[in-house]
Amino acid sequence: MNFNNKIVVRFPPSPTGILHIGNVRALLFNYLYARKHGGDIVMRFEDTDRERSKKEYEISTLEILDELGLDFDRGPFRQSDRTEFYIEAIDTLIENGNAYEGEEAQDGSGDKVIRFKNPNKKIRFKDTVRGEIEIDTTSFGDFVIARSKTNPLYHLTVVVDDIDMGITDVIRGEDHITSTPRQILLIEALGGVIPRYTHLPLIVGADHKKLGKRHGAVTWREFKALGYLPEAVINYLALLGWNPGKGDEREIFSKKELIEEFSLKQVNNSPATFSYEKLDSINKAWMLKLDKETYFEKALDFVSKKNKYKFEDNLEKAHKIIFNIVQERLDKFSDINKMEDDGEFDYYFDIPNVSEKDFIFKDDGIEKAIELLSEEYKILEKIDESNWNKAFLKDALWNWTSEVGRGSALHPLRTILTGAKRSPDPFVVMDILGKKESLERISDKIS
C-alpha cells in the first residue's frame, strides 16, 4: 500500500433511522483524521436494506451533519444508484471463479443468490487500535454476497465502493470488526488495495451495556432538544475513545483544536463509557463561551410559554434573572425548566403571598420583624436608582445587619420579597426587582 497517497475516508451511514450518536462519533473520528491530514471525505448512503432505508433518514442525516459542522468533500452517493457497478463486480467475480450462483433466493422471485467462493484461508490485518489480527475465514463458508445478480448485499457494495472511491482508511465501530475479514477476501478477489483499518471502541452506558435509549438521549436531535450545544457534543464525542495524550489534562477542545491534536494512535481499545455528567460539564463550559445576547436568546427559547411572555415583557428583569440566577445553574438550557417548575421565577413577576408567621425570624416576634423591616426601608429608600445593584445594596445594609443580627434582619426581608423558603439572597432579589417594586413589597408589610 502506498502511504503517500492522499488520505480518503468515508461517511457511510445506513439511512434506516435517525443517526445514532455512536455513528456520529465514528464519523467524527473519520472527519478529524481526514481534516488533520488534508484528506478527502466521501459521503455515501448504504441503503442495501431496501425495506428499512428511507429518504427521510437521508435528509435528517445530512441535516445532522450540517448542524454539527461535519462537512464532506464528495457525495452524497447512494448505493442504490450504483447497482451497475455491483453487477459488474459480480460478473467479474463469477468470471474469475471467485463467485457462483447458488440456490434460489427465499423471496419467491426465482432469482438465485450469489455466493462468494471462500478460499478458506487465514486473513491477517493490522488494526490501528488492536494491532495484528488473524482470522481463519473457513467458518464463514461460501457466504452470500447478493440476493440476486441485481440485488447486492452489504459486504459487496462496501468493498466495490471502497475500491472505486479510493478509500485509504476505514474507521468504524468495533461492531464491524467481524465484517473486515469478509471484506478483505472480497477486495483481494477484486484486485483492490486493502485500506488501513481502525475499529473504534464500543460506547457503553454506566451499566457497561451498549449505549441505547434507556440510558438517555442518543441522537443529536434529542441532545439539541435538551439544550446541548453542537460544539459541546462534538467536543465530548471526540473524548469517547480518544484522548490528547499523557499529561494533557485538557477537556475543552474546539473543533479546530481537535483537528490539530487528533491522532489515531491515541485511540484506545477499551469501551468508552458515555457519561451524561461529563457531557454536562463540557456543555456548561461551552455555554459560558457564548456571548450574552446569544445566551439570553437561547435561554428564552427554552422557558415555557407562560414565562416566555413574562420574560419578554420585562426584558431588563429577564436579563438580570438569567445572568444573576440562572446562568450559574444551567448545564444545558433545558435545566431552566426545572427552575420554572420549582417556581423559582414566580416572585420576580408576581407579588408573593406572605403571612406574618412566614417572615418572622425564629422567636423574634412580629414587632421586632416590622421594626427591622422599617429600618431597612429607611436605608433603602435613600439609595439612588443609579446605585440600585446587589453590591451596593449589600454594602448599604451589611454592617447594620451584623449589629442587629443577620437572621433577624435578612430573613424577613428575603421572605416578604419572595415568599419562598429558599431563594437567592435579598440583595440579588432586590437588584432584579428594582427599587420601586422592592420598596412597595416592604411598605406593604410595615404599614
Q: Which stretches of the chain bind ligand GLU, using CB under 6 A?
A: 12-14, 46, 158, 172, 176
- CB 14 → ligand GLU: shortest distance, Å? 4
Please identify, using beta-carbon distances, which residue of 13 and 39 lies nearer to ligand GLU. 13
Report in angstroms how near the CB of residue 142 gets to ligand GLU at its nearest. 22
83, 73 contact by CB (below 8 A):
no
184 grid coordinates: 478483505
Spatial distance between the Cα atoms of 274 and 240, rounded to a whole number of angstroms: 7
Min dist CB 170 to ligand GLU, Å, is 6
Sign of CA dihedral 358, 363, 365, 371: negative
How far apart, in whole angstroms, are the C-alpha atoms of residue 26 and residue 29?
Answer: 5
- CB of 380 within 8 A of CB of 440? no
Please list, in sequence order, all residues whose beta carbon lies within 8 angstroms of the beta carbon of residue 263, skipping any fewer than 6 positions away.
Answer: 36, 245
* Residue whose C-alpha cell is 422471485: 109
State the nearest-atom distance from the C-beta of 60 to ligand GLU, in Å. Answer: 14
**How far, in Å, CA of 186 to CA of 93, rounded?**
9
Min CB(187)–ligand GLU separation in Å: 13
Q: How far is the CB of 46 from ligand GLU (least distance, A)?
A: 4
Q: In the bound complex, what is the minimum distance in angstroms from residue 426's beta carbon to ligand GLU? A: 57
Shorter beta-carbon distance to ligand GLU: residue 11 or 295 = 11
The one-letter code for the residue type at 24 is V
Q: Which is nearer to ligand GLU, 41 or 158 (CB)?
A: 158
Shorter beta-carbon distance to ligand GLU: residue 9 or 442: 9
Residue closer to ligand GLU, measured from CB, 12 or 241: 12
Residue among 166 and 405 whose Cβ is closer to ligand GLU: 166
Rounded alpha-carbon distances, angstroms, from residue 107 to 110, 111, 153, 316? 8, 8, 14, 67
Q: Which residues pair with 74 in a beta bridge?
A: 42
Residue nearest to ligand GLU (CB): 172
By beta-carbon proximity to ligand GLU, the closer residue of 46 and 174 is 46
14/327 with CB nearer ligand GLU = 14
Q: Which is nearer to ligand GLU, 116 or 377 (CB)?
A: 116
Taking the complex as a whole, the smallest distance from the CB of residue 236 to ligand GLU amounts, in Å, to 21
Cβ neighbours, 10 Å, residue 292? 11
Least Å distance, CB 162 to ligand GLU, is 8
Nearest 5 degrees, angle CA 257-CA 22-CA 231? 35
What is the smallest separation between the CB atom of 248 and ligand GLU, expressed in angstroms?
A: 29
Using the minimum distance from each CB to ligand GLU, give the nearer residue, 14 or 423.
14
Output the smallest distance, CB 165 to ligand GLU, in A: 12
Q: Give the span between the Cα atoms of 134 and 219, in whole angstroms.
A: 35
Residue whose CB is less far from ligand GLU, 70 or 417: 70
For residue 122, what are the β-bridge partners? 136
Least distance (Å) from ligand GLU to the CB of residue 44? 9
Q: What is the largest CA-CA distance in the chain?
A: 104
Which positions ≥6 away from 222 have C-beta within 8 Å?
Answer: none
Q: How far apart are alpha carbons 290 and 288 in whole angstroms? A: 5
| Contact (CB, 8 A) for 189 and 96 | yes
* Closer of 10 and 390 to ligand GLU (Cβ): 10
Rg, the chain, Cα only: 32
